[in-house]
Structure 1
Amino acid sequence: MICASSALSLDVQPGAYDAAGVYQLLAVEPNLTGKGVNIALVCRSDTYVDSDPQNDYRPDISLKCFQSSDANFYDDLIGESGISKHTTQIASILTGVDANAFHPEVGEFSYTSIVPKSRLNVYEFWYFVSDYVFTGQLPKDDVLTMSLGWSSESWWSRGIDSMVENYGFLVVAAIGNGTEAYDLPLYPAAGANVLAVGVADSKGTLFEFEAPDPNHSTIGPTLDGRCKPDIIAPGNCLVAAEDNTYKASGDFSSFAAPVVTGVASMLIQKAKSDPNLQIAASGFSGNCVLKSILMTSAKKFPGWHKGFDDASDDYEYPLDFRQGAGMVDALSAYNLLISGLQRDGDVNDLGWDLNMIEADNTIEKVYSFQTGSEEKVLTATLVWNRVYEDRYPFNLNLNLWKDLQLVLRKIDSNNETIVMDMSDSPVDNVEHLFIAVEPNSVYELVVSNSQNVQTKGTAAYAISWQLR
């Protein structure tokens, strides 16, 4: 269980952000307010007439918490625009501020969103699909979030995967609300290149969170056997409601996804402001760097286990079907980001790389590190993008199929290598390791082409690692 820290005063809310490491990060970097970051929020209209959306997709920006927000709207619908309670709640997680808020459970408090100074560009779903996804055009945003989904893949969900691969654009999406809603992870979150977010269970509290309940947060695998979600986050937040009130949102992935989006926006702001880190937010596979960092830095709840309960499949399934890589941790992700890019060779015990590997089974990218005097746990995540055709219907491009593996080797006292662990999924484009390592030892993280199938073409990949 992860609780809001004892240092958190009850007059600062939402407490869920504390469990996600947001307030801890702000204590270190108070200027990470989202300034200079453009967030695309793609929302469905709440009502439809003869399959036509009725333009009620917007947050209620008349509420007090949005008075200082920079919100813009994009649609091509005729008639008056309408308000969506769902979108209002999501938007308040990202950009709302109210110094004089009240909730019966916590009394008076200061309501502060994760990135209050970010620019929020709200797109009606079908407008975004027709004007950006279908045309293959990149919106002028730094990150995109979607708290919606369908149970089956479609041309537009593949088009979003294609957009991610072509532009290195991070897309964050809600995985679904468990067996009470759908049985399978929802698209676009189930897409190979999208960061899929599940919801940590709160048991009805605003301060304590634990591993997801499958009744509230959809679990993997996908229909084709891939691991989803990628990460989880608190979803039960205090959010804006009508009449300038606030309510608990409940354990829904719709509200966990913007929490992760807010954390990613803080990282993007930092990366854009530092020339040494800008590649992490660049169009060259920047989404892979951010996805890898967020997953490596995540905290695992008790019971985390790769794939099914049987240990025999651990090499093939990189993630836990409920938790993904674990709970988002903003401060840990920030520390991993600022550790900086480190090329293969001798590296520190905390770092990341964005690199390329040719389609040759003899090539290895080796990251060698020395452990200290204390026993610690290594977490490492390898991410690359699936390639899709760049026009409708955006089918998966099997001619450019890439399959990588991640291996941990130890160098013993005789200078011989011993394989300690590996992650080699035949279908995922994520590999993940989580293993205790011995003190005062030399280890190697090795990226190479998988033996499962012949990789076609050079693969761009991101890897990150940390000991803690």
Structure 2
Amino acid sequence: MFFISLREAYAQELHAWIYFTDKPNVTASIASPQSILTQKAIQRKARHGIAIDDRDVPVNQSYVAQIQSQPGITYKTQSKWFNCVHVTGLETDINALTTFSFVSSVDFADPTKMAQINNHNKFVQTTMPPLTYGNALNQINMIGLNDLHDLGHTGTGVTIAVTDSGFPNVDTNPAFNQLRNNNGIAGGYDFVAGDNSYYGDHFHGARVLSIMAAHEAGNYEGSAPDAQYYLFRTEDVATETPVELSYWVAAAERADSLGVDVINVSLGYLGFDNPAESLSYTDLDGQTAFISRGANVAFEKGLFVVVSAGNSGTSTSHPYISAPADADGAFSIGSVTATEQLSNFSSIGPTFDNRLKPNVVAQGSSTALITENGALVSGSGTSYSAPLVSGAIACLIQAYPNVTPLQIKNAVEQSADNFMTPNNQFGYGIPDFGAVFQILSTIQLEGLELNHYIDGSKQFVIDLPQKHPAVKARLYNLMGQCVWNGMLENEKPLDLNSFNSGIYIFHIEDMNRSIKVVF
């Protein structure tokens, strides 16, 4: 009786996004980006030639406060990228918010959508008996990640945000001793609870993290053991509601502000507890679901977004990927077995608008991992193939910090064993990160690193390759501000006397290349 009445009460409450008309102090904030972003975030944007814009400016908190104070409205979270808040309430109470002059529109979690495909087993957990020595080797070698590790690229200096359901015992688990001793946990936040209790809740996030960050000498090595990590809880396993989409976007925005390089998303959304709010296949066009739109902005902002494809491969009604794996800015990872066969649970493509998905595959069946209690076991799900790739991407960024996310994406796909004949089961296939390392080594301007100089009168001269007599370029200071843009011509001096002495970044737009200059 209690269960029935609770469901009836819940069904009356709707999720919605409330969009605002403007933001405060946009011009001043962009002119002083250190007031809204960390220095690491500013420098990352400068390296990749990504402009700081109004989406980096926080939401007007006076607007938020007025929304929070309205009767019948429950505030959940907010998004600066989309200048909105996520609320729940009765339809009439939510619609009443349109009377505020600062509210531009209200977007309900689409009450006309098709009924949900309700699968509460989100993660496909399969815990196996303890593994013997070396069982993590297959999943690393399958994608050629051992080649990067052998070169010393283990994620040092690169930051990964893990968005998941909780990280119990990561602060005490011996498998993370090396991570903690090296200050590898940069911080975290529980967006569901609205506090710093991310070392609790559901075990899934701790297991996902172990695939990247765990280290047990002689027994286990993660895909990026020397990276730094932010731990963000965005998933509430007790329920399945649209607010989790907004929690994730809030976490992605936090990651961007902190200068994170890679986001691991071992999550996916389709059906919700209220079927009227569920997503359908028609929504999986990369532009409709709120979380997918957020993934696109994150990629545009310079973050590499790695997303599990989903575990619906055996479904007769919807074997396809979920959100945000449908986003063009999401690098979606399917699953194969230890013998490189497609895992039967691995979700397939295409997206509704007929784009290829997944992008690539990695071992997600019987993946070696370490539990929240420190046990070495195996588990299955695309949740576990994604962190293998996230860690590998971090190792690449360590090796090539100036290469853009798009260049990395293209190189990883090019390295994969199905690149010439991609399909919607394997995508481009199993990547070879040793080959990716070689591919990225060719993405250089011939002689650009050596053949430029600044003479005593602060004249910048560059010796361009013959096929590039002139290139479009922008000059950024270390605050991320573009202080000059124009054409650089071969061996033609550019006068820098109007700029203060210091460190600057030239971004060569025509060739997606950045170089540091000091004068």
Instruction: Verify: 1:337 aligned to 2:455, yes or no.
Output: no
Counterpart amino acid of 1:336?
I
| TM-aligned CA distance change 1:227 to 1:118, over 3 Å | same
Asked if the contact 2:415–2:431 (Cα under 8 Å) also holds between the matched residues in 1, the reply is: yes
Alpha-carbon distance in structure 2 between the residues aligned to 1:114 and 1:212: 21
Aligned-partner Cα distance in 1 for 2:229–2:417:
28
Pair 1:293 & 2:411 matched: yes
CA distance change for structure 1 residues 342 and 259 in 2, over 3 Å: closer, same or farther? same
SS in 2 for 1:295: helix
**Contact 2:169–2:372 (CA under 8 A) maintained in structure 1:** no
Equivalent residue for 1:112, pick from 209, 216, 221: 221
The CA distance in 2 between the partners of 1:38 and 1:462, in whole Å, is 22
**Equivalents in 2 of 1:87, 1:334: separation in Å?**
29
* Counterpart for residue 322 of structure 1: 425
Equivalent residue in structure 1 for 2:142, among 19, 28, 34: 19
In the aligned structure 1, how far is the partner of 2:511 from the partner of 2:319?
31
Instruction: Give structure 2 stretches of 5+ with no counterpart.
Output: 1-131, 235-243, 271-278, 280-287, 447-466, 469-508, 514-519
Q: Would you say 1:62 and 2:155 are equivalent positions?
A: no
How many angstroms does 1:133 deviate by?
5.3
Provide Cα deviations, 1:43-89, integer angstroms capped at 9, x if missing partner: 1x3xxxxxxxxxx4556332111012122221252575524321111
Q: 1:129 aligns to what?
A: 248
1:171 aligns with one of 297, 301, 305:
305
Q: How many residues align?
A: 285
Q: Which residue of 1 aligns with 2:262?
A: 143
Q: Distance in 2 between matches of 1:93 and 1:244?
A: 13
Task: Write the distance in 1 (CA, Å) between the matches of 2:210 and 2:252.
Answer: 26
Conserved 8 A contact 1:58-1:83: yes
How far apart, CA to CA, are the structure 2 residues paired with 1:460 and 1:230?
Answer: 26
**For 2:370 and 2:215, how far apart are their aligned partners in 1?**
10
Structure 2 CA distance for partners of 1:14 and 1:85, relative to 1, 3 Å: farther
- Give the aligned residue type for 1:247: V
**Identity of counterpart residues, as a percentage?**
23
CA distance in 2: counterparts of 1:128 and 1:234, whole angstroms = 28
Partners in 1 of 2:439 and 2:158 — Cα distance?
20
- 5 Å-filtered alignment, 1:147-166, equals 147-151=266-270, 152=279, 153-165=288-300
What is the alpha-carbon distance in structure 1 between the residues aligned to residue 398 and residue 348 of structure 2? Answer: 31
Partner of 2:374: 244
Using the TM superposition, name which of 154-163 and 170-179 deviates more. Answer: 154-163
Gaps of 5+ in 1: 1-8, 46-55, 100-108, 203-208, 273-277, 281-285, 307-318, 344-365, 368-458, 464-468
More helix by share: 2
Aligned equivalents of 1:92 and 1:305: distance in 2? 33
SS in 1 for 2:178: coil
**Residue 259 (str. 1) matches residue 388 (str. 2):** yes
Superposition deviation, residue 258 in structure 1: 0.6
Which amino acid is 1:178 matched to? Answer: S
Q: Distance in 2 between matches of 1:337 and 1:14?
A: 25
1:200 has 2:336 as partner: yes
Q: Which letter maps to 2:442? A: S
The letter of the residue matching 1:141 is V
Per-residue CA distance 1:13-59 (angstroms, 9 max, x = gap): 342111111223323x0x2121101001111x3xxxxxxxxxx4556
Return the index of the structure with the highest Cα Rg: 2
- Residue 355 of structure 1 is matched in structure 2 by none
The alignment yields a C-alpha RMSD, in angstroms, of: 3.0
CA distance in 1, matches of 2:203, 2:325: 22
83 and 68 in structure 1: CA distance in 2 versus 1, 3 angstrom threshold: farther
Q: Secondary structure, in 3 states, of the residue corresponding to 1:219? A: coil
Q: 1:155 corresponds to which letter in structure 2?
A: F
1:101-158 CA deviation, whole Å, 9 max, x = no partner? xxxxxxxx52111111111101122585363557996442011110001134422321
Structure with the bigger percentage of strand: 1
SS of residue paired to 2:219 = strand
Q: TM-score, normalised by structure 1?
A: 0.55
Query: Secondary structure of 2:434's partner?
Result: helix
CA shift, 1:179, in A, is 2.5
2:298 touches 2:305 (CA, 8 Å); kept in 1?
no
8 Å CA contact 1:230, 1:325 repeated in 2: yes
In 1, the alpha carbon distance for the partners of 2:189 and 2:296 equals 21
2:157 to 36, 60, 63: 36
